[in-house]
Amino acid sequence: MFNEKWLVINFLFICAIILGGSLRVAALEPSGELDAALLVSGLEGASGSTIGPDGALYIPENAAGRIVRVDPETGEVTEFASGLPKRLVHTGGIMDVAFLDDTAYALVTLVGDPAIGGEDIAGIYRIDDADSFTIIADIGQYSVDNPPVPAFFIVTGVQYALEVFDGNFLVTDGHHNRVLQVTPDGEITQLIAFDNIVPTGLEVSASTNTIYMTEAGTVPHLPENGKLMAFEPGASTATEIAAGARLLVDVEYGCCGTLYALAQGEFKEGNPEGSPAEPDTGSLVKANRDGTFTVLMDGLNQPTSLEIIGDIAYVITLNGEIWKMQGV
């Protein structure tokens, strides 16, 4: 029992690093090649993000169980949906949001696992209006019924990113090391599985039928294990696009097909497994054709999600801030 409990506690600390946990206020202003300005602060457990059909940013607040709409120009925050499951530990609850046509969907995780507690369903929730929703896919039960090999002790998995591709949803599971495909009717299948690489963020290209994915890598989150990968539906392996950034958590397309990614930061040697990245060591990076990354902005405080509109990057951080960075 002691070992099992230690494993669960250790895993939850790892989740806090990768999937959203620290609420520390940023001490440093990011610096680098881009012009950075703080757009929003005070969000409650901000994790994923998306750009809605109206051009606004939509951000889940997993500590509050709601999704907010943020005007990308003014930073005005308005509530979009509420009443969704809140996180039970340092992470979980609403992890990401995506739109299929004009309807929003939320990805919820770690709200009903035997090791965590809770009685809610881990899966995809369709937002029907401001305070009601419909669960369209029970990913937690699918994970119990279809465990990865080898099996992991969080049996419902830890889902991280939600993306729409070819009329379906893609979901990364950073604990079960796989990407799932979910139809709008709730049919779930495993799209691709990996070794223990901790898949996190997603981006897609419909024109090239390509899915891009970031790998956080396991402790100690060495730079060479922070990778940007690509694969096509039906593939059994992914191709490395770039590597060399610590604890990658998201990827987005920018102008002219350039790929940008977020690295959460440096792991301090000697810290116990599961310790967070060092404060203010995250970065926004650009993938180069030679397989390397160029750092465009550093000093980010545990960034978790990235959106790009025109030449502006919007970086969401674990402590509930949104930074606006012009010049990508």
Domains and CATH numbers, the chain: 2-326 (2.120.10.30)
Amino acid in the structure at residue 232: E
How much is the pLDDT for 32? 80
- Would the pLDDT of 321 be above 80? yes
How much is the pLDDT for 28? 55
Write out the two tokens for 135.
């669960």
Q: Residue 285: which H helix or E strand, with range? A: strand 282-287
- Would the pLDDT of 275 be above 70? no
Contact by Cβ (8 Å): 127, 110 = no
For residue 110, CA distances in Å to 89, 175, 186 come to 8, 11, 19
| 18-65: pLDDT as tens digits | 444 333 333 457 888 899 999 999 999 888 999 999 999 999 999 999
Strands, sheet with 188-193, edge to edge from the N-terminal-most edge strand: 159-165, 168-173, 178-182, 188-193
Write out the two tokens for 305.
């999600």
206-211 contact pairs (CB < 8 A, 24+) = 206/165, 206/166, 209/233, 211/163, 211/165, 211/170, 211/179
pTM for this entry: 0.91
| 78-116: pLDDT as tens digits | 999 999 999 988 789 999 999 999 999 999 999 999 988
| 254-271: pLDDT as tens digits | 988 899 999 989 877 776
Phi-psi label, residue 32: left if phi above 0, alpha if psi -120 to 50, beta otherwise? left
Count other Cβ atoms within 10 Å, centred on residue 51. Answer: 17
How much is the pLDDT for 271? 62
| 218-258: pLDDT as tens digits | 878 789 999 999 999 999 999 999 999 998 999 999 988 89
Whose CA is closest to 262, among 243, 276, 282? Answer: 282
How much is the pLDDT for 276? 57
Task: Report the distance separating Cα 43 and Cα 66, nearest Å.
Answer: 10
The residues, any chain, with a CB within 8 Å of residue 107's CB and separated by 6 or more, are 48, 94, 95, 96, 97, 98, 123, 124, 125, 159, 160, 161, 162, 171
Q: Where residue 141 falls among pLDDT bands split at 50, 70, 90?
A: very high
**Average pLDDT over the chain, rounded to an integer:** 89
Task: Report the distance separating Cα 19 and Cα 45, nearest Å.
Answer: 10
How much is the pLDDT for 220? 81
What is the rounded end-to-end Cα distance, in angstroms, of the chain? Answer: 50
- Would the pLDDT of 137 be above 80? yes
Write out the two tokens for 45.
């457990």
Task: Report the distance separating Cα 100 and Cα 133, nearest Å.
Answer: 15
How much is the pLDDT for 160? 95
% of the chain beyond a pLDDT of 90? 76
- Would the pLDDT of 16 be above 80? no
Count other Cβ atoms within 10 Å, centred on residue 186. Answer: 17
3-class DSSP assignment, residue 48: coil
Q: Where residue 5 falls among pLDDT bands split at 50, 70, 90?
A: very low
Whose CA is closest to 323, among 4, 30, 64? Answer: 30
How much is the pLDDT for 2? 30
| 68-81: pLDDT as tens digits | 999 999 999 999 99
Beta strands in 12-56 (DSSP E): 31-32, 35-40, 50-51
